[in-house]
Amino acid sequence: MRAMVLSAPGKPLQMQERTDPRPSDGEIRVQVMACGVCRTDLHIVDADLPGIKYPIIPGHEIVGRVDLVGRNVTAHQIGDRVGIPWLGYTCRVCQFCMRGMENLCDHPQFTGYTRDGGFATHAIADARYAFPLGEDGDDVSIAPLLCAGLIGWRSLVMTGDARRLGIFGFGAAGHIVAQIARWQGRSFYAFTRSGDTGAQTFALQLGAAWAGASDQLPDVLLDAAIIYAPAGQLVPAALRAVRKGGRVVCAGIHMSDIPSFPYSLLWGERQLVSVANLTRQDGLDFLKIVPEAGIRTQTAAFRLAEANDVLTRLRTGQILGAAVLQP
């Protein structure tokens, strides 16, 4: 197999030839057809996340075909198309797993972070954590749904019945959530980097009630806001934008430090919460509504060997929608 491998923090990924991996009991091997490039991959490459053991193959928005099945696997057969998400394994015995909160598992494994991911021609997955995808839709368009879509869905659910929704950071997750919000009858307001007219135009094309820079405010207060950009300074900005009793959801796995802000921004029973990972039920619920909602992802496809260039473009805000690697 071929893989783009991270050998040390901050280093460019290197293309390597490796022996084809073989699945253990309960695992499947997947021939990767497409793998989305997520901002979390940047956090892994830049060593923003703790406990990375090198070398590691990033990538956790994997669409592929099962080409080898380990013992005791009954849910998938050779040839099945499956999706492999960020959550790659949970212990199933800790207090969180036992309470149906496997996203908070004390002993989890994460695809492309603590176990090798999809920036490769092949990947190994625990069969229990691979979603059946069926045959509808093309591989590239589906790939961003495996994280941007899933985390977007979980963060949207956490906004409750908010009718006016702010989206801070209008990238891969933002443009998917915007479509769900519109399908649900909500209105959304897109907040982007200053001067990012491309993202603002894109948001308006998807039906935004308003689009502007994150230091601006629309002429109405919002019921809730979701922050996808990893910028701590957006927290007080989002709190300013929501009404009393509103909720701000921080959806990223990593964020820069949140600056101090006056208590008055939080007062009025505003809430500030975070999203951590996902559950398999999140995935099943979300993938079920994708065709119902008519979600269409905006993607740009690249060769596997272009992974470093894609990460640079993502870091500098040059990707509209989502980037996807094709091995």
Q: Domain with 35 in it: what CATH number?
A: 3.90.180.10
* Within-domain flag for 286: no
% residues pLDDT > 70 (the chain)? 100
Same domain for 228 and 169: yes
Same domain for 7 and 116: yes
- 226-241 per-residue burial string, b: 16 or more CB within 10 A, e: under 16: bbbbbbeebbbbbbbb
| pLDDT score at 317 | 87
Same domain for 128 and 17: yes
| pLDDT score at 10 | 86
pLDDT tens per residue across span 26-40? 999 999 999 999 999
* Within-domain flag for 196: yes
pLDDT tens per residue across span 148-165? 999 999 999 999 999 999
| pLDDT score at 256 | 95
Same domain for 174 and 70: no
**CA gap 124, 107 in Å, rounded:** 19
pLDDT tens per residue across span 46-55? 999 999 999 9
The helix (H) or strand (E) run that includes residue 283 is: helix 280-293
| pLDDT score at 252 | 92
In this prediction, residues 249-277 reach a mean pLDDT of: 96
- Strand spans (E) along 70-156: 81-84, 87-89, 109-110, 122-126, 131-132
Same domain for 172 and 141: no
Same domain for 186 and 266: yes
What CATH number did the domain enclosing 209 receive? 3.40.50.720
Give me the residue label for tokens 């991996």.
21
Structure tokens at 267: 């007062």
pLDDT tens per residue across span 309-322? 999 999 998 999 99
> Is the Cβ–Cβ distance between 20 and 122 less than 8 Å?
yes
Split into its structural domains, the chain has a count of 2
Domain that holds residue 112: 2-145+297-326
Same domain for 206 and 120: no
| pLDDT score at 275 | 96
Instruction: Give the predicted TM-score (pTM) of the model.
Output: 0.94
* Within-domain flag for 285: no
In this prediction, residues 104-125 reach a mean pLDDT of: 98
Confidence of residue 166 (pLDDT cuts 50, 70, 90): very high
Same domain for 140 and 7: yes
pLDDT at 190 over 90: yes
List of long-range contacts for 180-187, beta carbons under 8 Å, 24+ apart: 180/152, 180/153, 180/156, 180/289, 180/293, 180/295, 181/156, 182/206, 182/207, 183/292, 183/293, 183/294, 186/162, 187/163
